[in-house]
Amino acid sequence: MPPELDLATIVSDGFMENSYVAHLKGRTDCLVIDPGLEPEKIIGYLDEQGLAPAAILNTHGHMDHIAGNGAIKRRWPSCRLIVGRLDAEKLTSARANLSAAFGFPVTSPPPDATVHDGDVYSAAGFDLHVLHVPGHCSGHVVYLWKSGQPFVAFVGDVIFAGSIGRTDFPDGDFETLAAGIRAKLYTLPDSTILYCGHGPATTVGEEKRNNPFVRSD
């Protein structure tokens, strides 16, 4: 029997960013993906469920996806903070993570480890395949879990239901993003569930057929 995933989506106000808490049935350790601007919501959920994070996974270093890193690390100091290698500097730089431009500088503790394309990161019973998909920003990664059925991918701001991430940031590029989506995501099974950084979840098949920005061809 494949392991059974228990997943909670916790939305931060302001940017309506999705943070995710993932754990396997029968375990009390978990993953926190992209803790946003309201980490108290995440901490409250973890306490209610009796869960402790083994790792914080940042898909990328923009401020709405990293703002909760510090609060969770303070509560659980042994929790490891993971980000794509090329986005590591964004965690500690309010200029690089774009929060300075919005008028409220946000920084995060530095990462405990970085990952890049082809890595497999293991924590809390998960073996997550790392896909580097730049274009929204230079170091954006996707975390793909292939042990369950269907596959599950935490895609951050690479792709949304019917849309894609912005490419007008300093290290963004539309052609790079579109090529990465086609090469790294659209080659996955159509049933793969895409958990996005904003908005509802979708599937690879749905986006291949209907995404107006990046078609499968």
Enumerate domains of the chain plus CATH numbers. 5-210 (3.60.15.10)
104 pLDDT tier (thresholds 50, 70, 90) = confident
Judge contact between 70 and 110, C-beta under 8 A: no
Q: How many helices (H) and strands (E) does the chain have?
A: 6, 14
Q: What share of the chain in percent tops pLDDT 90?
A: 94
pLDDT at 1 over 70: no
pLDDT digits (tens, 9 = 90+) for 136-162: 999 999 999 999 899 999 999 999 999
| pLDDT value of position 143 | 99
Residue 92 has phi, psi (to 5 degrees) of: -105, 5
Q: What is the pTM of this model?
A: 0.98
